[in-house]
Structure formats: C-alpha cells, structure tokens
Structure 1
Amino acid sequence: MSDFTAGRQVGRAGTHPAAGTLPVMVLLAALAALPAGLAMIRTVPIGAMYWDLLIYFDAANRIFDGQVPNRDFFPPVGPLGYWLFAGGLKLFPNAQPLLLVDWSLLAVTGPLMALVVADVGARSRAAAFALLLPFLFFSLLPFDVENFSAFPGVDGFGIYNRQAARILYVLASALVFCEGTRRMGVVVAGAMLALFLTKITGFIAGGLLCALAFVAGRVRLSTTVAAVLAFAGALMLLEAQTGVVGAYLRDIEMLVVMNQGGILGRFLQAASVHFGVLLPCLLLTGTLAALGARPLIGETLALARRPSLPALAALLDQPICWLAVSAFAALFYETQNTGSQAFIFAWPALLLTLSRAGVWQGWRTAVVIALVAACSLPTLMNLVERCGRSAVGALKYERLETANLGTVGAVTQRGELMRHADTLLDAYVRNPGFYRGFAEMGQLPSFQMFAEPDYQIAFLKTLDEAVGAIDLYETANGTRFETVMNLGFVNPFPFLLDRHAPKAISIGADPFRTVPPPNEAVAAAVRATDLALYSKCPETAANRDLLKLYEPFLTDHSRVSLGRCWDGFVRNGLLRTVGN
C-alpha cells in the first residue's frame, strides 16, 4: 500500500495522531507569518479591474458604521468576505488591501484545513502535505486563472470567486481523504456555512460534493445529521442576531431574476474559457472508465441484481466518480464567474486517482499519471508564471503617487503606463464628446477598457482628485458632507473621507447585473444623501444608466463642478447653509 493510499484507506483504529503534527505545524507557521508579510509587502503591481477591491472598502466602511450586509445594503454576494475584510482592516490598517482581502479568508479556511491535515497526516504525512501545499499556494497568491491584461499585475477582480474556490478545496479534501467522523463533520458544516455566506453557486457546488460523499458512504448518516444541524443552527443564530440570512435569501432571489436565462450558453462559455483543464479531466475520466471497465460493469450488474447501500457505496466511492463530480461541480461554479481559481478543488480527486495508479501496469500507469499532470499542472504553472512575472516586473515599477488615497492607492506599475494614464485623463477632459458618444451607444471605447492597468491607474488618480476637490469645496463653503454616494461602480469616498454611505443602495453597482429597480427605501436614502458624485473621466454607459436610475430622487440637489473629472449633486439644504 502506497503512502498516499494509506492516507485514504486506513481507518481511525490505525491512526497515530502524532504523525499528523508536522503538516499542522507547517500550516500554523504559514499563518503566523502572514502579519509579517502584510507588514513587509506594502505595494502590489496593479492589475486588471483593480477597482473591484474598492467594493470591499465600501462594505467595510458601512460595517464600521453599524450597517449589516444584505440587510442594510445590497451587495453582489454574501456577507462573509466583507466581514473578514473589515476585521482585517481593524487589525492591519496599513496593509496592502488586495493581499489583506485575499489572506483574510484564511481566518476561516486555515482552521478547517488544520483539521483536515491532522486527520490525514495521522495516516499519511505525504498525503497531508500533498493536500496542504497546494492549499497554501492558491490561498496566498492573489491571482486568477484568467488573465485579462498583457502587463504583469495582481488581479483585483474575481476576489469572492477565488475565495469560494478555496473553501471548496478544503471541503473536497475532507470529503475525499478524511476518516475521523468528528473532524469530518466540523469541516463539512464549517465549509458549507462559509460557502453559503460567500457565494451561493459555491454552496451548490459544495452540495454536489457532499451528496456524492453521502451516497458513496464517505460521510456517515450521524455525521451528516450533525453537520446539517450545526449548519442550520448557525444560520438561525445569525438570523436572530442580525437578520442577515433572510435578507441574503431575498437578495439571491432578486439576483437570479435579474440574471436568469442562457444556462446552456454559460456552460459553453465556461467550457471554452477552461478548456485547457476540462479536456484533460474528460480524457482522464474516459481513460479510468476504459481501464476499469470490467470491474465497473461487474459491480454495476451486481448492484442491479441485488441492490444495497454498501454495494452502491462501493461503486461510487472510486476515483472516476470523484473526478467526474468534481469536474462537473467546478464547471457549474465557473458558469457564474468572470475570474476565479478554476478547478483547484478537483485536486483531491486527482490525488486519489494518483494514489491508485499502481493498480495498472506499464503504459497504463504512465497514461494515468500523464493525464493527472495535464489536469493539474496548467493551473499551477499559470499562477507560478503570473506571480513570477509580477514579482520580477515590480523591481522596476514606479509607485503611484497620491495625496488622499492611503492604502487604496498602494500600487505600482510600469512608468510608461503611469504616464499613459495621465495622457488618458487629458484625453477624457479634452474630448468629452468622443467618449460620451460611445456611452450613448451603450459601448466602451475599448472592449477591455476596465481591465487595462492604465485605465485603473487613471481611475485612482481621479479618485485622488475628487477627494481633494471635496475637501477644498467644504473648506471654501463652510460645510461638511456627512453622507456621500457615487453614481458609479464603486463608492470608496465614505471610507476615504471618513464619512457615511447611504443605506439600501447597491455596492458594486453594475446596472446591467447587480442593481435592482429602486424601492422606496432606496429613494429615501438617495434623497437624504448630502453629496452624490458623477464621474466625467470618461462618461460610460453604466454611469449614465446609474444617473438615469437615481436622478429622479436628486431633484432637491444642485449640480456643481468638483474639478475636471467630477460633478457633484449637493443637497440644497447644504447650499442654503453655505449662503448664511
């Protein structure tokens, strides 16, 4: 029996708990080193759609104000990531925020993975490390599999997508390799709760894995009942304390209605984007079916002649079933994602397949090993390359200089792109009609404009200018804007200005996907807002749609200029105060 196989097949009676200590110690050491990493790494190279990170600043500022996600404002996903980031900001206010938002998830996944590697390591130290090292690799690198920019940089987009993928990795590791019933129950309940509170499609994907584990006999009925009760109890307590669960379910229903239709097209798109991993998974599944055809057919016929739960479990608890379900769950999860660490939670099934490769002889073993490598290495090497390019490139990058952004602007990039961002700003100001024309046609000047680092740098520069202009306006007019909103995708202004954000409105405001029709609560919140900002650098179709959506509730506001790139809708009561 190989060491990897021992990690799966030896039961609790044969375990030696001290043997699992080393993997757990390595994990704890990695977690303990994170504060030092946050203190040392003060900037990252700006990458595609860095502004997605600012959604978390908006949410954190609201949480500091006492607002509850989903109950008091409409977010695009569940509340867990926002709570973790807000807690991280309290502990590490000077950390580079993109690292902080990624690493904050380890507060949840770290303890759960410790239970997994302790359980597996008691039987096979090699198997425990084979699960632990990829977990640390993917958890520590803030990169997606998808790459939307030719220039090396850290991905701002797909944050909650890769968070859910990492939770799914922990769940899959436990379901495939854990033997201890108590640890299994804690990990399943904790991971499913975290998935539910992060992204509902991740929760559904996790449910598929749990269903296979139950039917395949990997999870006992008593463990399943205990995990379900713990999960339900935690949600009931959370609902009683905050009301977030009911509000979250209503938000999910609304998002489903707004984004319904085209599921086949989404599967085809996900298959196309991730074809390089999906094809080897399909080939490996077919190869396992061919190599094990005779025993599979025999077990299936035996089950048909004499149905029983043990026979069904024996048929399903095999690498081919785990691989097929993991790959399908990953593909389903990716149908709703723009960026993610796709298919990483198929690794436990691949590791199980690898542990059984010795069953075959000669070239058959080589084929299986080669296909396992083809399924896993592309994702690994993609992230290694992207991390390496970013690290090397950063040695000669220039830091973005801002006066008002703090850690929000703690980024670097090539000097040419920094200067090109200034050119873009000049073009936006000199030629507003050119960009307005694209917006009126519902288009962008470049299809990937938001993904380009120079656009993201220019956007940060406009934020810096806006904060400075607001400070000057308040000083010159003897007033103070207590509530600030942005008629755009993200609203970092309350955080940057230490003010309040209006309740009820959407954060991460994409009028095409995440902004429901305003209700009376939204209307009242917008009417009461002291300052609503509108970006002109450049005007976009999305911003124009948001202005059109909220403008009926800004009739008691007057439009003023706040620098070359921004207009402000100032509540008239404040204007009257200025005149006194």
Structure 2
Amino acid sequence: MSMDLTDGDETRGRRALTWLYPVLAAFALVLVILQTLPLVLPIGPMYWDVLVYYDAIGRIAQGQWPAVDFFAPVGPLEYFLAAFSNVLFPQAQPVLLTQWIWLPVTVPVMALILWDVASRSGGRAAFWLLVPWMLFTALPYNVVDFYPYPGTDAFGIYNRHGAQLMYLVAATVLFVRGPVIQTVLLSVLVLALAFCKITAFLAAGPVLLFGLVLGRIRLGTAITTALVCVGVTGIAELTTGMVVPYVQDIIVLASQNTGALLPRFLTAASLHFNVFGAGGLLAIVLLIATLSGNAGTGSRSSGSAIARLIDADWFWVGLLLVCGLFYETQNTGSQAFLLVWPALLAILLKLKTEYGRYKTVIVVLIGFTVLPNVSTVLHKAARAIAVAPGYIQLDAPDLGPLGRVSAKDVFVTRAERIRQIYIDRRETFEDIAAQGILPSFLLFSDPDYQYLLLQEMQEAAEAVKSLELRSKRRFESVFSLDFANPFPYILRRKGAEFVSIGADPNRAVPELDPKTRDAVAQTDLVLVPTCPVHHARRVLLEHYASALTGHERITLTPCYDAFILPRTQ
C-alpha cells in the first residue's frame, strides 16, 4: 500500500476487504468443490479441444514435456497447469477442469488487485472489477455460437484463458497504483501470458506500452518487471531447456499462419460488430466530450495538453477494443472484449461529476458494449443447465472423466445410425475427403460427431487391451492420426515423441523432420480413425505415411485401423 493514503482511506479499504476477500474465497472454493464431483455436462461443439489437454496430461504423466518432447499449439504452462489440476482433481469433468486451470495464478492476482483498488477507491470499484472476472472465469462458454443446440463450449479454452489474463493486465494498468503491487502483478501476468498463448501476450503489449508512456506504469516498475521476466525465463531455460524449443515452435506456427491480416480483422470485426461497433461509437463520443470540455482527462493532472488528452477515457476504450480485435483475428470466438471492461468501469465511476449532457448516450453505449457478451454467456449456461437432466449420458468407462458427457436423444440416435453408414460407405467418404472437403461444413461442431468420436475411442481402447491379451504383448507407445489423441491418457502409455498435439494439418502440423519420422517409426501402435474418413485425417495419414512403412496395418475395430510395429527379435 502506498504511503500517500490517509487514515480514512486505509480504514475504508480494510472495511471493503473484509467482505471482498470472503467473496473471492467463496468463489474459488465453489469451483474447487465442483471439480471433486462426478458431474456430467452436455457435449458441445468441438469437444475434442479438451482431448488435446488430456493428450498432454497423459504425456506429462509419462515424463514428456511440451515443446521439448512434443509440439504444442499453445504455451507449455497451459499443459503443466492442466496436469497439476488433474493430479488434484483426477475425476473432474474435463471442461470444468481445463476451464479453471489458471485459478492458482489468477486468484492471487485478483486478490492483490482488490487490495490496492479497495485501499484507494473503496469497495465499489474493486467489486465491479471482481464480478466480470468471476463470471467469465466460472462459465465455460464463448461469446460466439458455433452451434444452435445447447452444450458446453470446449472450443478454444486456451483462448478464454488468454482473454482472462489480458483482462487482469488492463485492470492492473488502469486501476492499480501501488508500485510494489503493480510490479508483482505485471511480472506474474507478463510471464503467464508469454507461456499461455503468445497472441495474448502480443495483444496485451500495447496496453503495457501506453501504460508506461502515459505514466500509469512507472519506469522503475517497468524495468524491474522486465528484469524479473528475463530472469525467470532464463532460469527456466537453464533448468528445463524448454524456452528455446517453445520459441522455435512459435516461429513454426507463425510461418504456417501467415494469411492476410486485413481479412482477419474484417472477419473479427463483423463477427463482433455488436460489441466493437458500440464500443467504437463510445470512444468517438468520449473524444467529442473531452474536446468540448465536458470530461476530465483520466488520472493525469499535469503534463502537456496532448498528454492529458491522450491519457483519457476515449483513448483507453479505443485501445482496448483494438487489442481485443487483434486477439480475435487469431482466436475467433473467445472472450477477448472482456478486457475493455476496466476502461468502461473507470467511466462509470465518475459519471456523476463528468461528461455533462453526454452522460445518457455514454451509459447507453456502455450497455451495448457490455451486455451482448454477458447475456450470451449467461444464456448459453442457462440453456445447458435446463436441458442437461433430459440428455443421455455416454457409456465409456475406459475413458474415465473424458466420457462424462451427455447428448440429446436425437444426436445419440443419429450417431448410432450414421456410424453404420460410415462403415458401409467408406469409399464414398474417402472420395469426399480426396476432394479436400468435409461431408458437412459444420461436421466438427455436430454433437453427434463428437459423441461418436468418444464412443469409438472407448471401443478402440477395449480392442487394444483385447489385442494385447491375445498377442501377449504390451504396446508401450501409442499415437492416433487425428486432431486429438487422448490415448496416452486413456491407455496410460507413452505418446509418440516430437509429434504435434492438436494436429490441425492446415496450421499446427510442422513438416515431418527426421527426428519426428524416426519417433513415429518406433511407435508400437498408431491408430487411424475411419468413421468417417475425412480430409484432415487423410492428410495426417499421408503426412506420416513415410514413417509407417515398417508397420503392419490391421483392422482394429470397424471404425479404427491400426499400424502395429512388429516385435523385435
């Protein structure tokens, strides 16, 4: 706490913290308890994003490290925190576990933010910084609908993590004033962003830069933060050898995602036009109000007129919107615009004394900026809770908590019926795949596709165990030629080394180098899903084909082929 606080400020701050901290502690405790319960959630679009985490969890349990032993689509901390949470909560529902893996970091960060803000501004400002973070942290939903039926959003969980960390950065820059607390917060958050998702780190960069330029971050704080981050990163590299491979993976991913940036901005802006449009109008109105003398200039009371004009509400709203939009160009559909809220809160806290005749239009535009995302997340959560009791639970005991999902009866029926079509008409789907298209544009969002995927993984796991009994052989390493490969976790075996997890062949599968080829060539069991054969699976099979020439291909189940490495004599 800074020494410039009065006794009244200190007393008011302590009084606010006596109820703010219990709220935060109760929130964290509820999320912990929920992870100890055998909850079943309705399956949602692209549930297989969760399976990627469990691929990493299984690998880490066998001694493999992200970036060092396998190619990961996002930062290594995502997977280490997931593995840590799995140790603590081995039976947690996977969507909830992966949604909340950052709590050991974000809860202490939020506690420090509350300490500083409550001490200076009382409980109201601190409480309204806490509420949005709790809402978007607790509920595993994106702000974009990828499918019309209710379910739980597993798509892009790491995108939501990045958005929540960016929110904490914005709150720290705009509200925290204690230099020591701010240094601690920024050191933790910069490292967290860098090792969570690099695009979130880049998107938060302008917030930090202008925070420094405009005096909201002291030069000493910035230098100390930089030294801490460099020191921790250096120690991590010296002790684990993980940092350099992680940077190399980022370069590879960037080289595979070099599409034109302008179309991505247009796509993201159109997708979030309700929020971005209203927020953009708000920034314009705030600028007009500032130029007309109807508003103050933020916390800056000295310096040049230009500096006072820039360090104002209009600028921070506009900057945070642009940073959120940039993040959305790389991570469409997450909670990116959550980070705008601290700037909006700063406006609301001083509307009684500033903005004059512009107050009404400002409040309306703030509402249009905030409410769409809040209402979407709450609506999706309410729908999932409402329908869950009538859904059919998947029967997949070998999958452990991965199988703790349910689906609407029509989707279960469709999965059963279309499975036979996939088997009987395999040539048809191979022909479709050869054309570089999917049987349905929304195939990966279809609940029946994700439900069938888990069903077939259960059957494949049973078949592998049966094959081992018949052949009196244990397959020590396993790999699946699909986007998600949770078999190291399901079978408790080593995963093939140096391969990509989250294997999107269009953007996250590097060229097959000799090291990876040799690793796949030495893998005991390589699984090939065939219900259905589709373009991405076909591309992955072709990608690794040169490493499988020494394997024998068999039909493991009607929906899985397998490449088996012959026994060594």
Scaled by the length of structure 2, the TM-score of the pair is: 0.95
Point out the more displaced range, 33-42 or 421-430.
33-42
Q: Give me the whole-angstrom Cα distance separating, in 2, the residues matched to 1:533 and 1:200.
A: 31
Instruction: Show the counterpart of 1:517.
Output: 511
SS at match of 1:395: helix
Shift of 1:223: 1.0
In the alignment, which residue of structure 1 is the partner of 2:345? 351
Which secondary structure does the structure 2 equivalent of 1:183 belong to? helix
- Kept in 2, the 8 Å contact 1:326–1:346? The answer is yes
SS for the counterpart of 2:564 is: strand
Structure 2 partner of 1:47:
44
Inter-CA distance 25–173: structure 2 relative to 1 (3 Å threshold) = same
- C-alpha contact (below 8 Å) 1:42/1:410 kept by paired residues: yes
C-alpha displacement at 1:321, in angstroms?
1.1
For 2:79 and 2:363, locate their aligned partners in 1 and report how far apart those are by CA, in whole Å: 40
How many angstroms does 1:160 deviate by?
Answer: 0.5
1:453-512 deviation per Cα after TM superposition (whole angstroms, max 9, x unaligned): 111001111111111111111111111110000111111111111111011111001111
Structural mapping, 1:114-513, within 5 Å: 114-122=111-119, 123-295=121-293, 313-360=307-354, 363-513=357-507
Deviation at 1:288, TM superposition (A): 0.7
Q: CA deviation at 1:342?
A: 2.6
Q: Is the 8 A contact 1:67 1:73 kept in 2?
A: yes
For the Cα contact (< 8 Å) 1:429–1:564, is it kept in 2? yes
Contact 1:216 1:312 (8 Å CA) reproduced: no
Amino acid at match of 1:137: L
Deviation per CA, 1:296-315: give whole Å up to 9, x if none: 9999xxx9xxxx96655433
1:18 Cα offset (Å): 1.1
SS of the residue aligned with 2:330?
coil
Q: Deviation at 1:273?
A: 1.0
* C-alpha displacement of 1:363: 4.8
CA contact (8 A) 2:294 2:355 kept: no
Amino acid at match of 2:14: A
Cα distance in 1 for partners of 2:457, 2:42 equals 18
Other-structure match for 1:5? none
Equivalent pair of 1:172/1:348 in contact (CA under 8 Å): yes
Please tell me the residue identity of whatever aligns with 1:242. T
Runs of 4+ with >6 A deviation: 296-299
Distance in 2 between the 1:23 and 1:295 partners? 36
In structure 2, what is the equivalent of residue 19 of structure 1?
A: 15
Give the Å deviation of 1:34: 2.1
Q: Deviations over 1:205-260 (max 9, x none)?
A: 11111111111111111111111111111111111111111111111111111111
Q: Are the counterparts in 2 of residues 218 and 317 from structure 1 also a CA contact under 8 Å?
A: no
Check whether the contact 1:215–1:313 (CA below 8 A) recurs between aligned residues.
no
Cα contact 2:72–2:502 (8 A) shared by 1: yes
Indicate how the Cα distance of structure 1 residues 354 and 65 shifts in structure 2: closer, same or farther if over 3 A, else same.
Answer: same
Report the AA paired with residue 15 of structure 2: A
Aligned partners of 2:387, 2:305: CA distance in 1, in Å? 56
**Does the 8 A contact of 2:497 with 2:516 survive in 1?**
yes
Name the stretch that deviates more: 12-21 or 326-335: 12-21
Cα deviations by residue, 1:129-167 (Å, 9 ceiling, x for unpaired): 100011111001010111111110111111100000000
Given that 1:38 and 1:96 are in contact with CA atoms closer than 8 Å, whether structure 2 keeps it comes out as yes
Deviation at 1:573, TM superposition (A): 2.2
Is contact 2:295-2:354 (8 Å) kept?
A: no
Paired residues of 2:289 and 2:295 also in contact (CA < 8 A): no
Q: CA RMSD in A?
A: 2.0
> 1:396: how far off?
1.3
Secondary structure, aligned partner of 2:561 = strand
Q: Secondary structure at the match of 1:443?
A: coil
Partner of 2:559: 565
**Any idea what SS the aligned residue of 2:36 has?**
helix
CA contact (8 A) 2:62 2:493 kept: no
> 1:548 aligns to what?
542
Q: Which residue of 2 aligns with 1:105?
A: 102
Contact 1:354 1:368 in 2 (8 A): no
Superposition deviation, residue 316 in structure 1: 2.7
Q: 1:433 and 1:152 mapped to 2: Cα distance?
A: 33
Range with bigger deviation, 33-42 or 340-349: 33-42
CA contact (8 A) 1:20 1:118 kept: no
Once residues 513 and 127 of structure 2 are traced to their aligned partners in structure 1, the CA distance between those partners, rounded to angstroms, is 52
| CA 361–572 in structure 1, closer or farther in 2 if over 3 Å, else same | closer
1:467 touches 1:496 (CA, 8 Å); kept in 2?
Answer: yes
Letter in 2 for 1:18: R
| CA contact 1:99–1:142 (8 Å) conserved in 2 | yes
> 2:391 touches 2:407 (CA, 8 Å); kept in 1?
yes
Task: Tell whether the 8 Å contact from 1:424 to 1:458 is kept in structure 2 after alignment.
Answer: no
The secondary structure found in structure 2 opposite 1:404 is helix
Deviation at 1:261, TM superposition (A): 2.8
8 Å CA contact 1:481, 1:530 repeated in 2: yes
The alpha-carbon deviation at position 360 of structure 1 amounts to 4.6
State the secondary structure of the residue aligned to 1:85: helix
With over 3 angstroms needed to count, the CA separation of the structure-2 counterparts of 1:402 and 1:297, relative to structure 1, is closer
Indicate if the aligned counterparts of 1:215 and 1:312 stay in contact, CA closer than 8 A.
no
Confirm or deny: 8 A CA contact 1:442 1:541 kept in the other structure.
yes
In structure 1, distance between residues paired with 2:220 and 2:471: 68
Contact 2:38 2:91 in 1 (8 A): no
* Deviation (angstroms), 1:39: 2.4
Q: TM-score, normalised by structure 1?
A: 0.93
Preserved contact between residue 68 and residue 242 of structure 1 (Cα < 8 Å): no
Once the two structures are superposed, what CA deviation does each residue of 1:425-451 show, in whole Å capped at 9, x if it has no partner? 111112112211110001001001001
Contact map agreement 2:397 2:403 (CA 8 A) in 1:
no
Counterparts of 1:317 and 1:181, CA distance in 2: 19
Give the counterpart letter for 2:47 in structure 1. Y
Distance 1:41 1:146, change over 3 A: farther
Show the 5 A alignment for 1:52-91.
52-91=49-88
Q: Per-residue displacement from partner, 1:265-310 (whole Å, max 9, x unpaired)? A: 11111111111100001110111111122349999xxx9xxxx966
Letter in 2 for 1:273: L
